[in-house]
Structure 1
């Protein structure tokens, strides 16, 4: 194993941990104003949409079908793991059936 790669991984892990732990430590001491609290409540949804929207728009029919299955399974069983597996499975099956690869 290369020492420089190991040090880079350990450094990234340390910075990630410090940034997360630092946020918790600061929010335990300082009470953020109401607008910051509202921002923090809505941020996960915004980040999720930022990750999902570009591939969804570029993916075509199989990806859209997978997205519909994710929503339907989530509504039906309220299990995000099952919803994701269902969506990925449908997307993969349609890609294979249509000969699209990937």
Structure 2
């Protein structure tokens, strides 16, 4: 059975997310941002990545850090992001199993 309130909430969230993304593209196409805004937008993805990665690494402790090192090593060696992620997950899982 479909819950219309849940469907409406999901649809509303999807529309708001799309409006935010499309609105940003539309504004940046119509208006040239000042240089400091361009600089912030250029560096923002790295900041977001660090914000997403740091808490799990701190929570996982040394197995997480070793898994992150494996990801970096495999990525540098193979230039294959999928292989790097799988290797890092496997390393973290294996180290956590060994650590008990």
Q: Same fold by TM-score, threshold 0.5 exceeded?
A: yes
Query: CA offset at residue 74 of structure 1?
Result: 1.1
The 5 Å alignment of 1:58-97 reads: 58-97=59-98
Query: CA offset at residue 95 of structure 1?
Result: 1.7
- Give ranges in structure 1 of 5+ residues lacking alignment: none
- In 2, Cα distance between the equivalents of 1:15 and 1:87? 35
Aligned residue pair count: 99
Query: CA offset at residue 31 of structure 1?
Result: 0.4
- In 1, Cα distance between the equivalents of 2:66 and 2:91? 7
Query: CA offset at residue 93 of structure 1?
Result: 1.6
- In 1, Cα distance between the equivalents of 2:84 and 2:30? 38
- In 1, Cα distance between the equivalents of 2:94 and 2:4? 42
> Bigger shift: 56-65 or 32-41?
56-65
> Bigger shift: 35-44 or 76-85?
76-85
SS of aligned partner of 2:32: coil
- In 1, Cα distance between the equivalents of 2:97 and 2:10? 36
| Aligned-residue RMSD, C-alpha | 1.1
Matched with 1:3 is 4
